[in-house]
Each structure stands twice: as structure tokens, then as C-alpha cells.
Amino acid sequence: MCKQVANKMTRKYIGRIGDDPDSWIDATIDLGGEGDTVNGRGIFWDRQVEGLRIRIGARKVAWQYFSQRRDHGDRAHTFETLGRYDRGYSAEAIAGGTYKSFGGTVRRDQAPAVYRGPEPILKRAPWHMDVAAARNAATVKRADAIKGLPKVNAQEGATFAQAFDGGYEISENGHRVRIEGYLQYLERQAKEAGKPPRWADKVRSLGKLYMLPKWGNYRLTELSEIPVRVAEWCHENIDSAVSANHVARVMRAMWRRIAKRDSRLKLDSYPTRAYEERKERGEQKGMTAVHFPEWYAAVRALPPVHHAYHLMNLLTGARPGELARTPWQDNSPDADTFTIGNAKMGDAIAIPTTPQIRACLKMAANALPDHKTGDLVFPGCWNNPTRDKLPMRGHALRRTYRTFAHSLGIPDDIGDWLLGDAPEGIKAHYLIKWAMANNKAIVEAQHKISREMMKALKSKPVAKRKRVPPPSVKRKQAA
């Protein structure tokens, strides 16, 4: 019946059961008294049905089923109380007739003189579960646990990790063909468009952080059968709503691309079909000139490098990540340009420098006098959205730049060029000719934006006007 289990306190072993399991349990209960931790009380495991055990306590004896397993690398367990074993002196047994008095607070040799005469017949309660019934119940639970495990078979298809990165081979009418991994597909798309693989890098980061640790060992056919589980995981295990929505979109796009090539997968059986997109936090809007003095006061309280970084972000309208990754070697004082390489659109962005922009670069250089050519101009500012407590930061400053330029009457095509975007309506092979023809206007526009923006930043804060209630409200207050 029972495996030999070492007691944690005494390191002694519990003996095996005899031919009659119920008699052995009764005898074991009978040996246990108050404070007895070796023989009478404890957990005893069944040798016949794996996972079945009986827990003998001070007041109750219960059958339990407990098993541990690994599900696709995740540790899982099943625990359930199957029933109780009647010691033979319960209220139901006593009401049924003569009885034996075992264990608990009364030992056999200390039993009260309730009955004298022949050996009494043991009667148990109706809810009593003997060894045979416990083994049958445990066998059912074990079968349910095994049935609940997803089937893993190499013939059923590739794993999520293979489809995500690397690809896999399938047989198509007797020919071996290879399906490209999703990351390789994204990288190839970026290369064909002549752009850096930024979205591929983003997807790789999402996979490494979220998808691969959880679903990497799952077969694609298994994932198609658990959409509710995948949806709950996206809602409960990914804190960021933006990341959760990105993960759901990536898994859907990858599935649809793979399903068009692998006939074993259905196009509409993608794993995230039960996921409902979470509400994302609203994007930051650009600030108006009225709020410039308040923002400037907050920026001046920051360390010099961070002060220069945020101020230059506003003066140039550059993307915050691209600005933070720019090294000193891209600064050209002789040409009066500050170049942002490896930009989102794939080409370098040459920003005309102004006295105000050069002052920001000088502030950063003075804060780091020993900097080298390959060092970053603004170290420590990459992925820094919350440490600098500012009313506006990051991409909101880029929107502020565009709005401010429009308020100064800067043409839209010049404003787009200063932000590194292609002017609308101009084809790519005409851009260079257009930029050369409008070079003077572009430089003058940048100087005008920097000059007027610094004036607005250093202006006095506008006092908030006190709200005057209408006459009808005044009459009510007077009454």
C-alpha cells in the first residue's frame, strides 16, 4: 500500500502495510497518540496507484490525490481530497450498534469501559471510503490529468519557436520545402524596402520577453485549440496594454502567414482569436506656447545632460530615441549640421544647427569633458520616459515642434523636411533637387523656430484668470 516515506522530523521510515490494507490503516491509526509523530500520524503513499495518499491527522483521516508534472516546460500539479476514512467511532458508527474505539484522543489501552464481552463488530459511517474505493477514485483523477495534457507529437507540426524564428520544413506532394521563419520574413521585407529592420527587432524583443518563454515549446496545432487560455494570458500576464496588443497582433499575423503555406493549419484558427484588445493609454498631445515657461522651469532643474537632451528634443523635433542614440561623430560644427543616422525612414537626417541648438550641444559637452568621438551625445537618456519628471517629454515635444512651426507660418513641406519626413506630394527622386533648391528657406525656417521658441520659453508665465461667475449665479449667492 504505502511507500516508505522518511519523516521530516525523525528521519525514521514508516513500515509497509500487510495483506489487508484496511486493517493496516486501522492499526496505524491505533498506534498514533498525542504527540506521536513517528508511527500514528503523517502522510502515507500508495504503492499501487501513483499519486494516491492517505493523511492521518489528530481528528480526521482523509484520502488525497496529489501529482506533479511538467506541461511544456511549466511546472503544474493536481491536488484533490477524494474522501474520508472512518476510524470506526464516528457518530454514525456509534448509532449503528457496537463499535471499536480507536486512536484520536483515546488510545486502545486507555479506552473507557463502554462495552464488555466478546470482540465488538466494527461499523463504519456511510461516507467511509475504503482502500479499494480510494484507488478507483485516484485512477479516475490520474486519467483526467493525463487526458488534460496537450498531445505532443513531432508529426503534428512545428513548434511556435520554429515558426517564429528559424523556420521549418514540410512535405508537399513528396517534396521537402522550407517555410521561412516570421522574423526572417520581417527582416527580408525591411531589406527589400531599404530600411533598417526596426519592426523585426521590436518583434524579436516581444518574443524573447513574452511569447517564447510561454509558448515556445507548444506545437502550432496545440495553440489553435486553446484560444481562451491564450487570451487570458495576454490579459493577466502582460502588464502593459500596448505590449499585450502588439503580442496579439504579432501572433495573428505570424499564424496567417504560416497557415497560407502549411496545409495542416486553418487560416481562421489563430491562437489569439478570443483576445479582445485592451484599452491603451491616450497619447501625449503637444503643449501650447502658454505652457512653455512652466516646462522650461522644470527642465532647468534637471542634470545638465538631461536638460540639454530635452531642450534639444524640443528645438529640433527629433524622435527621442534617435536623438538619444546619436554619437558625437555625427555633429559637424563646420557644416552647421547635426546628423541623426539610422533614422526610422532609413536615411540620415541632417538638422541645421542654430545658436540655440549649439548651446545645448555645448552644455552636454561641458558636462562630459572627457567624451570621445564614438560616445553618445546624451548618455543615459535612452529609454528614459519616467525618471525625468516633466509635464511633456518624448514624442509629445516632436508634436509641439510641428504645431509651433505651423503657428509661425512655416510651409508644411519645409516643416516635414526638418522633422525628417518626406514632404507630401514630392516623389523620392525629386527630393534632393527640392532640398537643394529650398536649402536657404530650410535654414531660415530652423533659425526662426529656434529663436521664437526660446523667447516663448523664457517669457513670463501667464497668470491664470480668475473665473467670474455669471450674474445669475451672483444673484443666487446673494440671496
Look at residues 148, 174, 195 and tell me which one is the last residue of a structural domain: 148
- Looking at the structure, tell me whether residues 73 and 159 fall in a common domain: no
Residue 195, Cα to own-chain centre: how many angstroms? 28
What is the spatial distance between Cα 335 and Cα 363, in angstroms, rounded to a whole number?
Answer: 20
- Looking at the structure, tell me whether residues 134 and 163 fall in a common domain: no
What is the spatial distance between Cα 191 and Cα 39, in angstroms, rounded to a whole number?
Answer: 73
More confident residue, 322 or 104: 322
- Looking at the structure, tell me whether residues 235 and 108 fall in a common domain: no
The three grid cell numbers given for residue 479, joined into one nine-digit string: 440671496
Residue-range definition of the domain harbouring residue 30: 21-148
At residue 433, the pLDDT reads 72
Looking at residues 192-197, what average pLDDT do you find?
Answer: 83
What is the spatial distance between Cα 138 and Cα 78, in angstroms, rounded to a whole number?
Answer: 11
The three grid cell numbers given for residue 227, joined into one nine-digit string: 484560444
In a domain, 244, yes or no: yes
Number of structural domains (the chain) is: 3
What is the spatial distance between Cα 347 and Cα 81, in angstroms, rounded to a whole number?
Answer: 66
- Looking at the structure, tell me whether residues 454 and 397 fall in a common domain: yes
At residue 181, the pLDDT reads 92
Evaluate whether 243 touches 198 at the Cβ level (below 8 Å): no
pLDDT 10s digits, 23-51: 666 656 554 433 334 445 778 887 788 88
At residue 271, the pLDDT reads 92
- Looking at the structure, tell me whether residues 253 and 304 fall in a common domain: no
- Looking at the structure, tell me whether residues 314 and 439 fall in a common domain: yes
pLDDT bucket at 475, cuts 50 / 70 / 90 = low
pLDDT bucket at 474, cuts 50 / 70 / 90 = low
pLDDT 10s digits, 54-107: 888 777 888 888 888 776 667 777 888 888 887 665 554 455 444 444 333 333
At residue 164, the pLDDT reads 93
- Looking at the structure, tell me whether residues 297 and 422 fall in a common domain: yes
The three grid cell numbers given for residue 333, joined into one nine-digit string: 560644427
At residue 12, the pLDDT reads 28
The three grid cell numbers given for residue 243, joined into one nine-digit string: 505590449
The CA-atom distances, in angstroms, between 142 and each of 45, 63, 132, 288, 465 are 15, 14, 15, 67, 74
Helices and strands in the chain, H and E counts? 19, 9
What is the spatial distance between Cα 357 and Cα 309, in angstroms, rounded to a whole number?
Answer: 10
The three grid cell numbers given for residue 427, joined into one nine-digit string: 516623389
| Rg for the chain, CA atoms, rounded | 37
In a domain, 266, yes or no: no
The three grid cell numbers given for residue 324, joined into one nine-digit string: 538619444
pTM: 0.51
- Looking at the structure, tell me whether residues 193 and 65 fall in a common domain: no
Look at residues 243, 259, 275 and tell me which one is the last residue of a structural domain: 259
In a domain, 475, yes or no: no
At residue 295, the pLDDT reads 87
At residue 177, the pLDDT reads 85
In a domain, 476, yes or no: no
For 272-392, list the strands marked E by DSSP.
331-332, 337-340, 349-352
Give me the chain's average pLDDT, please. Answer: 76
In a domain, 467, yes or no: no
- Looking at the structure, tell me whether residues 324 and 441 fall in a common domain: yes
- Looking at the structure, tell me whether residues 300 and 449 fall in a common domain: yes
In a domain, 472, yes or no: no
- Looking at the structure, tell me whether residues 39 and 169 fall in a common domain: no
At residue 262, the pLDDT reads 86
Evaluate whether 78 touches 5 at the Cβ level (below 8 Å): no
At residue 461, the pLDDT reads 67
At residue 2, the pLDDT reads 42
Which stretch of 38-47, 101-110, 116-125, 430-439 has the lowest confidence by average pLDDT?
Answer: 101-110
Which stretch of 178-187, 344-353, 394-403 has the lowest confidence by average pLDDT?
Answer: 344-353
In a domain, 344, yes or no: yes
